[in-house]
Amino acid sequence: MAPCIFIFYDYFPPAYKAGGPIRSIDNLVKLLGDEIRFYIYTTCKDLDGTKLDVKTDQWVNYNNLAKVFYASSVKQNLNSVRQLIKEIEPTKLYINGMFSLLSAVYPLIAARRLNIPVVFAPRGMLQAGALKLKSTKKKVYLVALRFMVKGLNITWHATDSVEAEDIKRNVGKNINVFEVGNVPQLTNHAGVGKKNDCVKFVTLSLIARKKNIGQFLSTLSDLKELNGKYEYHIFGPVKDEEYMNELKQIIDALKMKNIYFHGPLSPEMVNDKLTEFDFFVLPTLGENFGHAIFEALSAGLPVIISDQTPWRNLESKKAGWDVSLKNGSELRTAIKKAIDMTPQDYLQWSQSARELAESYVKQAKLKEKYLELFG
Tens-place pLDDT, residues 40-92:
999 999 999 999 999 999 999 999 999 999 999 999 999 999 999 999 999 99
The tally of CA atoms less than 13 A away on the side-chain side of residue 253 is 10
Question: Is residue 14 reached through a cis peptide bond, with omega within 30 degrees of 0 on the bond before it?
Answer: yes
Measured at the alpha carbon of residue 288, what is the angle toward residues 117 and 248, in degrees to the nearest 5?
A: 130
CATH dotted code for 199-361 = 3.40.50.2000
Contact 356, 280 (CB under 8 A): no
Q: Which strands make up the sheet holding 230-235, listed edge to edge? A: 259-263, 230-235, 199-204, 279-282, 303-306, 320-323
Say yes or no: domain 4-181 is CATH 2.102.10.10.
no
- Three-state SS for 117? coil
Tens-place pLDDT, residues 280-299:
999 999 998 899 999 999 99
Residue 299: partners with Cβ closer than 8 Å, 6 or more residues away? 187, 188, 189, 190, 271, 274, 275, 354
Q: pLDDT band at 197, cuts 50/70/90? A: confident
User: How many helices and strands, by DSSP H and E, does the chain display?
Assistant: 13, 14
- Three-state SS for 176? strand
For residue 45, what is the DSSP state?
Answer: B
Tens-place pLDDT, residues 220-268:
998 988 888 999 999 999 999 999 999 999 999 888 889 999 999 988 8
**Residue 220 burial (CB < 10 Å; 0-12/13-18/19+)?**
buried
Please give the Cα distance from 375 to 361 (Å, whole number): 22
Residue 171: partners with Cβ closer than 8 Å, 6 or more residues away? 126, 142, 145, 146, 149, 156
> Range(s) for CATH 3.40.50.2000 in the chain?
4-181, 199-361
